[in-house]
Amino acid sequence: MDEVFIARIRVPDSDDFKDFRGEFEVVKVAPTRLEIRETAPFIELFTFGDTIEVEPHENEFLFKEVVGRSRYRTFEFLLSEKVAESTQLQQFVDQLVERGGHWERLMSGWLLIHLPEDSDYDPSNDISRVVNDVG
């Protein structure tokens, strides 16, 4: 598996976007290409699984363009804090990772599940079971 690291990415000013800097988990897939390994909730330029072209510049990478869209399907769930921090949810996401999925929890109860596009698994019923079990 390729090594995940934190990269500082700068999106320069454009007609569509004000200059932005952020740190993202990425995997280097080519000398000037990074695969994004997390979701930036308020950035629409790229998302989990997208491959971006960058230019290394001092201690950061300058964003050039998205060169490959994510090969993952993303499911989103809003959970109570009780469910989000439950053992049952942790067991579910552990099994999800074993199946080749990825997950993120943002802002306490926003659960994002990323599954390979060729997977026919829909986690909705299993999440409902976790919610019902936790109460």
pLDDT digits (tens, 9 = 90+) for 63-79: 999 999 999 999 999 99
Can you tell me whether residue 111 is helix, strand or coil? strand
Confidence band (pLDDT; 50, 70, 90) for 89? very high
Q: What pLDDT, on a 0 to 100 scale, did the predictor assign at position 114?
A: 97
- Is the pLDDT at 1 greater than 60, yes or no? no
Q: How far apart are CA 46 and CA 113, in angstroms?
A: 16
pLDDT for residue 12 is more than 60: yes
Q: Dump pLDDT digits (tens) for 23-72.
A: 999 999 999 999 999 998 878 889 999 999 999 998 999 999 999 999 99
Can you give the three-state secondary structure of 57-74, one letter per residue?
A: ECCEEEEEEEEECCCEEE
3-class state of residue 96 by DSSP: helix
Specify the pLDDT at position 11.
Answer: 87
| Structure confidence at residue 15 (pLDDT) | 63
